[in-house]
Amino acid sequence: MLVRRPSIRPRWLVALLALGASGAIGWERPARADEPVATSGAAASTDARRMAATEFRKGEQLFKAARYADAAKAFERALAIAPHAATLWNAAEANAMAGNAPRAANLYARYRGTGGNESAAELDRRLADLGQKLGRIRMRGRGATHVTIDGQAVDPKLEATYVDVGDHEVAADLADGSVLRRKVSVAAGAAVTVLLEPEAAPNAPADPRPTDAALAPEHAAGKLAPTWFYVGVGVTAVLGVATAWSGLDTRSARDDYKADPAPTQEEYDAGRSKETRTNILLGATVVGAAATAAVGVFFTRWGGSSGHAARLRLEPGCASLELSSRF
């Protein structure tokens, strides 16, 4: 059916429009078919009201004849001439019956707040049924004009515009004089928000030549202060001195043992103990030197360094270490 309540007959519609002309009901200037329902402003002229009533009657006749697409056009022509809540509802009904779901949903959405007689529950039911098959596009941003979706003007009073599922192009003239064009894809029952603001300027390309300042954080991250390297050097030096002393002491004990014409087991055991001590100290010195070198080369944060290289040489058979580095 066209409307839930008894159909508005043309003579009652003309009477209602006459009230609008006298100021009892305020309507805006005649609107185009794609413009929102007006609620204030200058009243339509007598001729315009007659034209709207004629188009309304045509819409009723076409709807009864099941020519829903033609009925929708007639109701929307009447709506453009003299906006009225009943005409808006009938236009939405006709578009829905004609299979033009997005147009019907947007007209139903425009009906909210017009003061028409259709219940909010019935309106919500129709929008829910259509919304399951459609997507919505929301616009956010101030100062944009001539906003369109796929070339069709967008009603700025709608919170969101219903569209068919798929890809769409949003265009708008922005406040800074630029033109926004954006492709969006909408799924059934989903909503997409488009920000009507200029896109942020791309960042300037980075200088491919790294600077010391740029490299410093990368090299410094997670590394140790040079103090730890110097501590390692000190510990290694102490171990080296102890190893050298122990080596000399062991050699002296060995010489004494060989020179004794009647060496004892006690002297032999003492000499072996000194030899073991020397070997342990030598091993600790080598490990300390290697660890200190690794800390200095790989794990120390050297301020203002431009590069580094290190070389470690161990000579078996003696306590000789060579450590060189470049920072």
Residues 167 and 284 in one domain: no
Residue 282 Cα distances to 130, 231, 245, angstroms: 87, 19, 11
Would residue 205 count as lying in a domain?
no
Residue 292 pLDDT > 80: yes
User: Would you tell me how many other CB atoms lie within 10 Å of the CB of residue 3?
Assistant: 14
Q: What is the pLDDT of residue 26?
A: 30
Q: What is the CATH number of the domain that holds 23?
A: 1.25.40.10
- Is 282 within a domain? yes
Question: Are 228 and 313 contained in the same domain?
Answer: yes
Last residue of a domain, one of 79, 106, 132: 132
- Are residues 147 and 254 part of one domain? no
- Reported as a single tens digit per residue, the pLDDT across 263-289 is 888 878 888 888 899 889 898 888 888
**pLDDT tens readout for residues 189-206:** 999 999 888 776 666 565
Q: What is the dihedral of CA 147, 151, 152, 156, to 10 degrees?
A: -10
48 lies in the same domain as 149: no
Final residue in a domain of this structure, among 81, 111, 132: 132
Distance CA 233, CA 246 (A): 20
Mean pLDDT computed over every residue of the chain = 76
Write the DSSP assignment of 39-103 as a string of letters.
-SSSPPPHHHHHHHHHHHHHHHHHHHTT-HHHHHHHHHHHHHHS--HHHHHHHHHHHHHTT-HHH
Distance, CA of 138 to CA of 161 (rounded, Å): 6
- Neighbour-count burial of 166, counting CB atoms closer than 10 A to its CB (0-12 exposed, 13-18 middle, 19+ buried): exposed
Q: Residue 170's pLDDT band (boundaries 50, 70, 90)? A: very high
Q: pTM, whole model, 2 decimals?
A: 0.52
Range of the domain at 180: 134-198
> Are 130 and 77 in contact, with CB atoms under 8 Å apart?
no
User: What proportions of the chain, in percent to the nearest 5, are helix, strand and coil?
Assistant: 50, 15, 35
86 to each of 29, 208, 216, how far by Cα in Å?
17, 67, 73
6-10, 68-72, 193-197, 210-214: which range is least confident on average?
6-10
Q: Are residues 113 and 240 in the same domain?
A: no
Higher pLDDT, 218 or 143: 143
Check whether residue 142 and residue 252 sit in a common domain: no
Question: At residue 97, does pLDDT exceed 80?
Answer: yes
**Are 126 and 139 in a shared domain?**
no
The 10s digit of each residue's pLDDT in 32-84 is 333 444 433 344 588 888 999 999 999 999 999 999 999 999 999 999 999 99
Question: H helices then E strands: how many in the chain?
Answer: 9, 9
Average pLDDT over residues 312-321: 47
pLDDT at 165 > cutoff 60: yes
- Name the amino acid, one letter, at 96: A
Are residue 180 and residue 271 in the same domain, yes or no?
Answer: no
**Hey, what are 248's tokens?**
């000399």
Same domain, 190 and 280: no
- Asked if residue 288 and residue 234 are part of one domain, the reply reads yes
Q: Measured in whole angstroms, how far is the alpha carbon of residue 266 from the centre of its chain? A: 82
122 and 182: one domain?
no
Indicate if 142 and 168 belong to the same structural domain: yes
Tally of domains in the chain:
3
3-state SS class at 200: coil
